[in-house]
Amino acid sequence: MHHDASGIVLKLRGFVLRDESETRYFNVIVERGELRAVRRRRFAARYGLSATDVELLAGLAANESTLCTANRLSVTRATLRTYLCRLGDKLEFETIAELRAFATPLTL
């Protein structure tokens, strides 16, 4: 993987192919990617979320316990519950389970 200051990421994958005459060819596939920080900023902008909101979703996606998330964010569990409630209001989800289901397929 390569990236420069612009945040552009290129993923290079190579593999060997053989044709009917057993001639070998080496192919390279170049895919566009993005840095995790760029992906998080883009996601936050799309949904109007703060950096803390994105961190909460990342914890939910990783199936992290509320205690671990609270420790990682250096807040109390009560504050974390407040953050989660406000995040649910922003995204129009009523339960933590709905937030977790939303966050699970994300790779933040």
Q: How many domains does the chain have?
A: 2
Give the gyration radius of the chain's Cα atoms. Answer: 20
pTM over 0.75: no
**51 and 26 in one domain?**
no
* Band of residue 4 on the pLDDT scale cut at 50, 70, 90: low
- Per DSSP, helices labelled H in the chain are 36-47, 51-61, 66-73, 77-91, 96-103
**95 and 46 in one domain?**
yes
**95 and 74 in one domain?**
yes
On the question of pLDDT at 90 being above 90, the answer is yes
Domain that holds residue 24: 2-34
Task: Identify the CATH number of the domain in which residue 85 sits.
Answer: 1.10.10.10
**41 and 28 in one domain?**
no
pLDDT tens digits along 20-76? 888 898 888 887 777 778 888 888 999 999 999 999 999 999 999 999 999 999 999
Backbone angles phi, psi at 19, to 5 degrees: -95, -170
